[in-house]
Chain A
Amino acid sequence: MPRTPGHAANGAEPDAGKLVGILALQGDFEAHAKMVRALGAQPREVRTPNDLEDLDALIIPGGESTVMTLGIEREGLAEPLRDLVSQGTPVLGTCAGMIMLDREHLGLLDVTTRRNAFGRQVRSFEADLDVDGIPGGPMHAVFIRAPWVAERGPAVQVLASVEEHPVAIRQGNMIAVSFHPELSGDDRLHEMLLAMNGTG
């Protein structure tokens, strides 16, 4: 995907000093950390509530949503995560991260998601996808046993769809996508996250 490096999604430069928490209970948190580091911000793996202190942004990565759900319960992370996001801290959820934010899990996004919506692994795919608010051409999106948004409330803005199923959404300070920008090397959603200002 040809594009200009360092081009921030909303025209502003990402803040180099930002501390970005990445939920590291299970999944591809290292791929996100690498991308955050390459953008000049500082990643921090989050496994316990103490790891949430002083974060400027949060990423919930891909992985298995059942494992993350059990981990969040075991670590007592649900309330601290809800507080952090409710205070306005920008958050990006990818794949399982989108599921964790939905009504049935952390209850932060006003959506229900359908897990493994495209089918088993043999149906996993790559595609180019126009995402509203992301300049510079379509994103290269990697979908792995991906979910989609099945139902959504009025506050949810759809940024991209596949066959009319929303796969990228925004609601206030939360961005959630069904695919894995951290695996395709396309850092524009991460730039968008870093350029968002928390209200808390």
Chain B
Amino acid sequence: MDENGHTSRDEATFTVKAGLAEMLKGGVIMDVVTPEQAKIAEDAGAAAVMALERVPADIRRDGGVARMSDPEMIQGIQEAVTIPVMAKARIGHFVEAQVLEALEVDYIDESEVLTPADEANHIDKWAFNVPVVCGATNLGEALRRIGEGAAMIRSKGEAGTGDIVNAVTHLRKIRSEIRRLATLDDAELATAAKNLQSPLHLVRQIAQDGRLPVVLFCAGGIATPADAALVMQLGAEGVFVGSGIFKSEDPERRARAIVEATTHYQDPARIAAASGGLGQPMVSLESSKLEAEQLLAPRGW
């Protein structure tokens, strides 16, 4: 602060990037494809919306190259709601990320749900003022993304299936690898960093704190209030619901129910009350029956 009481501001620090994810904790981030859906999501208690042209279930069905959404559609959603608006860029497509930053989206998701644009490199996320969230299937992947500047991590699951099994696998994997690090001495941590292909300073920090240095959400396959509570009990700090809401029979009611179950995730009576009379969930696919080339989670490395 100077003599006149004016405050000097530091914008786009890692603290404010990771800090927005802190504000989303305990919340539900919902995929929306129109301003009308965004408004429904906000009114049902979404902590943020993910603006995209097609939800993962439709991307899966339609095939072809999935890209960043039309900026006009994203702007329409930004005008419709006051909660944070996120949008997806392809893995490694830093120009899509630049466009999303120019639109002033609140968070960029470098997402395996879209078709990857680079077979070797993820986006250098330190180069951006807008924070970036990335997916991970294990701790090493999460730490490589954080090393590249990701300010939030979501476990990947298998988007667009309505099958929770991969989300559970990835979340358990990340959490158990974190717990394991806490049992290692300094020499073993150096080896662990090598095996995890992760920066040693992050490995040391996690061994000490017992948690990731950024917020960890869960994504990919959440279709019911019980699914949301399951991943919260497994250690997720919030949930992304993609196709699970607007591909279900009664999106508004299901959205409210998933929000309620995410808040009361430790209270089975409340989860039960929230789960009743919601109508049909999304049409689901058993992920173990999908062909290898239909899987989205292996995209990224």
Contacts and interface: CB of A to CB of B under 8 A. Distances in A.
A26 B15 contact: no
Contacts of B259: 67, 70
B23 interface: yes
A60 B76 CA distance: 31
Interface stretch (A5-13, A125-133, A169-177): A125-133
Interface residues of A, number: 44
B25 A28 contact: yes
Contact of B23 (A64, A74, A184): A64
Nearest to B46: A67
B106 A121 contact: yes
B258 to A, nearest CB: 12
Interface string A111-132: 0000110011111111111100
B186 interface: no
Interface stretch (A83-91, A137-145, A186-194): A137-145
A22 B24 CA distance: 16
Interface residues of B, number: 42
A126 B46 contact: no
Contact of A122 (B12, B15, B46): B12
Contacts of A31: 22
Nearest to A184: B15
Given A24-B26, A67-B259, A95-B23, A127 B82 contact: no
A129 B7 contact: yes
A180 interface: yes
Given A66-B83, A184-B15, A47 B1 contact: no
Nearest to A128: B1
B48 to A, nearest CB: 7
A124 B11 contact: yes
Interface string A19-47: 00000111111110000000000000001
B199 interface: no
A135 interface: no
A145 B20 contact: yes
A66 B130 contact: no
A63 B42 CA distance: 14
A183 interface: yes
B263 A145 contact: no
A109 interface: no
Interface of B: 1, 5-13, 15-16, 19-20, 22-27, 42-48, 82-84, 101, 104-107, 129-131, 259-260, 263-264
Interface of A: 24-31, 47, 62-64, 66-67, 70-71, 74, 95-96, 115-116, 119-130, 138, 142-145, 161-163, 180, 183-184
Q: Which 4 interchain pairs have the tightest Cβ spacing? A: A121-B106, A125-B9, A124-B16, A127-B7
